[in-house]
Amino acid sequence: MVSTKIRQPKSLPQIGWREWVTFPAFNNTRVKAKIDTGAKTSAIHARKISEERVGDILFVIFELQPRQRISKPVIACRAEVSDRRVIRNSGGHEETRYVIRTPAAIGLYEIDIELTLTSRDSMGFRMLLGRDAVKKRFLVNPARSYLHGHEN
């Protein structure tokens, strides 16, 4: 008989399959996010995306519309571009997106994440939090929601 050793997971904080994510760099805007371990990269709904170069640094200017099916508020944002990548969405379509790095908070836990900017008007959530953002940081409990608080 072969004995297999089962590794016990580290004590990681749990998050539900959906959580509120706060962005300190964007006026503490809160966005309802779906935790999607099937998606490698995180994505957020952005509109009116343009770029601005300051010396050798490329910035992206965009608007966040954090609430689904509600046009207000609109948050004006600016962030340094860390990359541009071709991302394949769930429908198999490829799109070149800006990638930024930004702090994000889920409850009391602040993490630094990569975030792609795209239109998510037709999606159920304004944000997807992908596996790169949650791996080795959180344990996802698919049976629970909003373990770190509801909208105020």
CATH number of the domain to which 133 belongs: 2.40.70.10
0.75 exceeded by pTM: yes
**The pLDDT of residue 1 is above 90:** no
- Whole-angstrom distance, CA of residue 74 vs CA of residue 29: 10
**Residue 60 is assigned to a structural domain of this protein:** yes
Which two three-digit tokens encode residue 22? 């706060």
Tens-digit pLDDT profile for residues 105-148: 999 999 999 999 999 988 889 999 999 999 999 999 999 999 99
- H/E stretch holding 43 reads strand 42-54
Structural domain total, the chain = 1
SS3 content of the chain, % helix, strand, coil (to 5): 5, 55, 40
| Domain residue limits at 36 | 14-140
Tens-digit pLDDT profile for residues 41-93: 999 999 999 999 999 999 999 999 888 877 788 999 999 999 999 998 777 88
Residue recorded with tokens 């010396």: 55
